[in-house]
């Protein structure tokens, strides 16, 4: 199980400062969709240059022109690139093919997928590296979480690894760890804390014990 820090509402400089604080306790740093929209793939490039030993994920939420977009993110230094699980199968295939060529990984985000079990099985067969159960901001606001969906995915997936995100905090982390996802993605659960380093350290400790 790895710990991923999701950065959404920061600029490049703020992202670098934040990662510096917690870098020894995280495995992956995610340049979230808002950062990439506001700052471009330059955000991925600069964070990868600043932290070459960390895995960098570009949360592009690709829906179309997948091969091209994966190639661009890959050139910017992204190690993992996200595509939406609702994208057409041909787009998923294009993303997977391009990522393989570049030695990168594809994470399929199943946000807004209706039949999670069926689509997770298909995505697994299409060769994505990770399937990501994701409760977005808008659903978190009405009290939803993704813990149940994770066990659904784990029951159908044969090859892909699993990832979970959406409102994970130190208090809810033990519940997540019980299900052993490969990637645990935390945003505000770290970035909104006064002592980010101590929070990340505590989370990493729980994950390693789990």
Q: What is the pLDDT of residue 2?
A: 98
Question: pTM of the full predicted structure?
Answer: 0.95
Report the percent of the chain where pLDDT is more than 70.
94
pLDDT, tens digit (0-9, with 9 covering 90-100), for 32-75? 999 999 999 999 999 999 999 999 999 999 999 999 999 999 99
Q: Can you spell out the DSSP letters for 103-172? A: T-EEEEE-TT-SSHHHHHHHHHHTT-SEEEEE--HHHHTTT--SHHHHHHHHHH-SSSEEEEESS--TTT
User: Is residue 143 very low, low, confident or very high in pLDDT (cuts 50, 70, 90)?
Assistant: low
- Rounded Cα–Cα distance for residues 74 and 68 (Å): 10
DSSP assignment of 9-54 equals S--HHHHHHHHHHHGGG-SEEEE-HHHHHHH-THHHHHHHHH-TTS
- All domains of the chain in start order, with CATH: 2-209 (3.20.20.70)
Residue 158 has pLDDT above 60, yes or no: yes
The candidate with the shortest Cα–Cα distance to 94, out of 57, 69, 124, 122, is 69
Mean pLDDT, residues 111-139 taken together = 89
pLDDT in tens, 178-202: 999 999 999 999 999 999 999 999 9
Bridge partners (DSSP) of residue 183 are 2, 163
pLDDT of residue 142: 56
Pairwise CA distance, residues 97 & 156, whole Å? 23
Mean pLDDT score, 4-32: 97
């Amino acid at each position: 199980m790895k710990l991923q820090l999701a950065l959404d509402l920061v600029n490049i400089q703020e992202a670098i400062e934040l990662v510096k604080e917690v870098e020894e306790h995280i495995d992956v740093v995610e340049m979230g969709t808002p950062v990439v929209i506001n700052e471009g793939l330059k955000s991925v490039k600069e964070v990868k240059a600043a932290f070459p030993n960390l895995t960098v994920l570009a949360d592009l939420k690709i829906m179309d022109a997948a091969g091209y977009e994966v190639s661009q993110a890959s050139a910017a230094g992204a190690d993992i690139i996200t595509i939406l699980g609702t994208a057409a199968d041909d787009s998923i295939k294009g993303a997977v093919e391009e990522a393989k060529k570049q030695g990168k990984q594809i994470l399929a985000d199943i946000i807004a997928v209706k039949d999670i079990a069926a689509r997770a099985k298909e995505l697994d067969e299409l060769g994505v590296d990770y399937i990501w159960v994701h409760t977005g901001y808008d659903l978190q606001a009405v009290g939803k979480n993704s813990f149940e969906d994770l066990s659904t995915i784990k029951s159908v997936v044969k090859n892909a690894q699993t990832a979970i995100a959406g409102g994970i905090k130190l208090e809810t982390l033990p519940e997540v760890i019980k299900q052993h996802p490969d990637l645990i993605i935390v945003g505000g659960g770290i970035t909104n804390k006064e002592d980010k380093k101590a929070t990340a350290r505590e989370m990493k400790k729980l994950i390693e014990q789990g």
